[in-house]
Each structure stands twice: as C-alpha cells, then as structure tokens.
Amino acid sequence: MNDDAVIDRLRVSELYRRTMSSGRARLADVLGGHLEVESSGAWITTSEGEKFLNAGGYGVFITGARHPAVVREVDRQLHTHPIGTRMFLDPAAARAGELLTSVTPPGLDKVHFSCSGAEAVEAAIKLARLNGRRHLVSMFGGYHGKTMGALSLTAKNVFQDPFRPLLPDVSHVPYGDVVALTAVLELHPGEACVIVEPVQGEAGVIIPPPGYLSAVRAVCSEYGALLVVDEVQTGLGRLGAWWGVEAEGVRPDILLSGKALGGGVIPVAATIATQEVFSVLDRDPILHTSTFSAAPIAMAAVCGAIRAIRDDGLVDRAAELGARLVPEFERIKAVHLPHHQCEVRGVGLLIGVEFADPSIAADLFLALVGNNVVANLSLNSDHVVRFTPPAVMTESDVEFLVDRFERAVKLVAERNPEYEVLANA
C-alpha cells in the first residue's frame, strides 16, 4: 500500500470521527478500514484498488452497481431536469408510475414515492389511519425501518427502548403464527392494519410455513383489517419473483418497495396501494407530501431499474442463481462444519446461514471480508450471515463467491475446533 493510500484512509476515518459517528468509523476499522471508491456490476473497488464481490449491500443491488440502463436514464435526467419545482407535472414521474404499476400485482395502481423504505412505511401507516385502521399489528423479528412510526413496527427492544414512547395501539405477534394474529384481529374488528414481510430479511432470512401469507390475507379480510406487505427487501426479483406475494397469489391492500427500486444508483422507495385505500390522497394531494418525493432524478432511476430487471430477465436469473447457491453453501457447510449447529436457507437471492452461536456467525462474516466478499449480518439477528448478491453476477462471479465462501467456512472450522471435540466426546 502506498503512503498516499494510508494517508487517505486515516484522513477519511478521522473526518468520520470528527464530523459523523465515531462508532461508525470504529466498525469500519474492524472490517479492515477500507475506503470504497468505485463500483460496477457485482464488484466494489477500494481506494487501494482491492476488489470485493458485493453479496451484501442490505439487498439493494439486484441490478448490480451502475447498471447501464439505470445510468443512462439518470444521466439524461441529470442533464435536463434533476429536481422539480413541484408546481408542474413531470414526465419522468408519470413514466415511473406507469412502469412500476405494470409490474405490481393487479389492483395495486396508485403510487406514493418517497426516498427511503422507512418513509414508505410511514406513508402506509398514514394511509391505514386515513382508512380508519388505527390499530397496527406487526410481527416479532420484522424489520420496517427506524423512523418513529416505522420503528413502532420494528419489534426489537434494542432499537425501540431508547425512543419510547412510540406510536400507541401497536401489537406484535409471532411470525408464521396465524392463530396469534387472529386473536389480535378479533379484538379490533374493522380497525386493524397488519404489516408483514413475505420472508423476514433482517430477522435472518426467516421463511414462513407454506400457506402463511394467504392465511394472513384471509384473516385480514375476515376481520376487515388492511394488509400491508413490506417488500422493501424482498421485492423486484430478490426472491426469484417480482414480488414475494406472487408465490401464494396474495393481493395486499398496500405493497411497499424500496432498496432495488433505485437501481443501485438513487435512493427511492414507494408505497403502492389500491384505488380504494389511496382515495383520500386523490382528494387531498397535500395531506402527505415531502419536498423530494417523486423527484425527477429518482423517477428516472425507477424507470431504469424496472427496465433493467425486466429486459435482462433478472427475476428468473435470481431464481436460477439462488437454486444453485443454496445447495452449494449446504454442501460446503456439510463438508467443513459437520458438527456445528448451522442451517443454510434461502429463497432466490436472499440467503441466510444461521449458527446457534452468534460468535461463529461474526467469525464467518469477518472471514468473508478477509476473502474479498461483502455479506451482511442481520439487523434483527446476530446469528445469521445474510447474502443478497446481485442477479447480474457472471459465471465467474458465482464461482468466485462459492470458492471464497468455502475458504471462509474452512477458516471458521479451523478457528473453532472445539465443536469437533464436543461432537466426538
């Protein structure tokens, strides 16, 4: 490493410590203190020219980084009209609305755009209230963001406790448990709004039992509850389908999108509702607004992202790659960690490797970084290493990921031999 690169790293770290969160700088140090300065497809390049395969990014990069279709649209918008006055209509927003609703389940025709997943959740909470549903029900382990309303639904004490009181009238029930959900809905007929993920991402890739989502839909309909399906992480091809709800033919009243919606180029999210649920915002368009909602530059990114996913067949590619990676990871785990309590599971390109012991999960996460693969630990579970690689991975990218996963797992096995001893005792 040359001196300039070292000075660069120290300077950036020092500026983070001085002007932003010093804790954030400390965390980055644990991961090697790299500076990421460039990205393309499945790859991130550091200031020293080292390359990392991006199998993390919290689920943003289904189209990889800087997909040409997204860059083209955003570049054109950047050089014509990036931010609007909000006085006149904007053709980019109209195109984005049309394209997005062309890929959502039928009946979900009205879109409110925002800048983050949590904001999409806030809009859903407000739509629920506008429709007379004041009692919110979310699932333990569910992750919906950290703004105050969204946080009220993100049922995790470490995130909620410092900020109480949160929204009133919120219940949490176990994920996958329709009986518990029914018991809550019985107490709030015609007044509840249920929010659920098709697969819980931040909880550590928790896949519900078959039939769960359709049973949730049925019980919501029975008790007059609105159903919000949060596909901020699972939507737009991540699960090998455009939306997780498709697997059981469920139509929610509100569908949430984000992360991949900006094509890995611009932050943007969406709350997509039925005509009926959205109608109050038709009557009063200034009841829920924000300056950068549906900004032309973000709308261009939405158009680019949906075109890229559709035209490159990334939904099918995610299904195909997931169907290869999960068995490969299982094989590697069985060879090198036969005595560890460890489970590999996944749907499409949302893959989790869970360990009974969270220190082993942390060890694997670090060993992956040491082997030039970026993955994520899960925000609501430190037992699970989560992989959300792009669907644009080439064959050699896939081989690299499998090879480096194997090297990292071997390292973890060597560092933690006591499990073998226990198993052989």
Q: How many CA atoms lie within 13 A of 312 on its CB side?
A: 24
Shortest reach from residue 352's CB to ligand PLP, in Å: 13
Shortest reach from residue 223's CB to ligand PLP, in Å: 24
Minimum CB distance to ligand PLP smaller for 16 or for 159: 159
Shortest reach from residue 404's CB to ligand PLP, in Å: 24
Shortest reach from residue 346's CB to ligand PLP, in Å: 16
Rounded CA separation 346/328 (Å): 12
Minimum CB distance to ligand PLP smaller for 39 or for 138: 138
Shortest reach from residue 124's CB to ligand PLP, in Å: 10
Minimum CB distance to ligand PLP smaller for 226 or for 337: 226
Encoded tokens for 191: 């007044």
State the sign of the Cα–Cα–Cα–Cα dihedral 74, 78, 80, 83.
positive
Rounded CA separation 26/22 (Å): 6
Q: Which residues pair with 111 in a beta bridge?
A: 272
Shortest reach from residue 58's CB to ligand PLP, in Å: 5
Name the residues that contact ligand PLP, by CB under 6 A: 58, 116-118, 121, 143-145, 197, 201-202, 230, 232-233, 258
Minimum CB distance to ligand PLP smaller for 145 or for 149: 145
Shortest reach from residue 226's CB to ligand PLP, in Å: 17
**Cβ-closest position to ligand PLP:** 117
Minimum CB distance to ligand PLP smaller for 117 or for 333: 117
Shortest reach from residue 117's CB to ligand PLP, in Å: 2
Shortest reach from residue 418's CB to ligand PLP, in Å: 34
Minimum CB distance to ligand PLP smaller for 118 or for 305: 118
Shortest reach from residue 133's CB to ligand PLP, in Å: 19
Minimum CB distance to ligand PLP smaller for 258 or for 390: 258
As a three-state string, the secondary structure of the chain is CCHHHHHHHHHHHHHHHHHCCHHHHHHHHHCCCCCEEEEEECEEEECCCCEEEECCHHHCCCCCECCHHHHHHHHHHHCCCCCCCCCCCCHHHHHHHHHHHHHCCCCCCEEEEECCHHHHHHHHHHHHHHCCCCEEEEEECCCCCCCHHHHHHCECHHHHHHHCCCCCCEEEECCCCHHHHHHHHHHCCCCEEEEECCCECCCCCECCCCCHHHHHHHHHHHCCCEEEEECCCCCCCCCCCCCHHHHHCCCCCEEEECHHHHCCCCCCEEEEECHHHHHHHHHCCCCCCCCCCCCHHHHHHHHHHHHHHHHCCHHHHHHHHHHHHHHHHHHHHHHHCCCCCEEEEEECCEEEEEECCHHHHHHHHHHHHHCCEECEEECCEEEEEEECCCCCCCHHHHHHHHHHHHHHHHHHHHHCCHHHHHHHC
Minimum CB distance to ligand PLP smaller for 104 or for 116: 116
Residue type, 289: T
Minimum CB distance to ligand PLP smaller for 259 or for 383: 259
Minimum CB distance to ligand PLP smaller for 153 or for 184: 153
